[in-house]
Amino acid sequence: MFFSIECKRNYELISVLISFGDNLLVLSPDDIRNSIIERISNMSKMYHLINPSLL
């Protein structure tokens, strides 16, 4: 399924989109997609610092 919404980029929007986990793929706009990638990457780095075997 494809969905489209009109809204302004904000912290809550990024948080809600991330909350869908691997059940959602943001295709555009690039700035929102990149914000999601950055937040997930930062989360992954933190968990790997705690437990490096989580690769």
Backbone φ, ψ for residue 54 (5° rounding): -85, 30
Please give the tally of structural domains in the chain: 1
- Asked, for residue 35, whether it belongs to a domain, the answer is yes
Closest to 25 in 3D by CA, of 13, 37, 11? 37
Structure token pair of residue 6:
């009109």
- Asked, for residue 50, whether it belongs to a domain, the answer is yes
**Predicted local distance difference test score (pLDDT) of residue 55:** 61
| Domain coverage including residue 41 | 24-55
Structure token pair of residue 1:
């399924």
- Asked, for residue 12, whether it belongs to a domain, the answer is no
**Predicted local distance difference test score (pLDDT) of residue 38:** 96
- Asked, for residue 3, whether it belongs to a domain, the answer is no
**Which residues of the chain carry a pLDDT beneath 50?**
none
Structure token pair of residue 46:
């933190």
**Predicted local distance difference test score (pLDDT) of residue 36:** 96
SS3 call for 32: helix
Give the predicted TM-score (pTM) of the model.
0.80
Q: How far apart are the C-alpha atoms of 48 and 12, rounded to whole Å?
A: 25
| Position 32, amino acid | I
- Asked, for residue 52, whether it belongs to a domain, the answer is yes
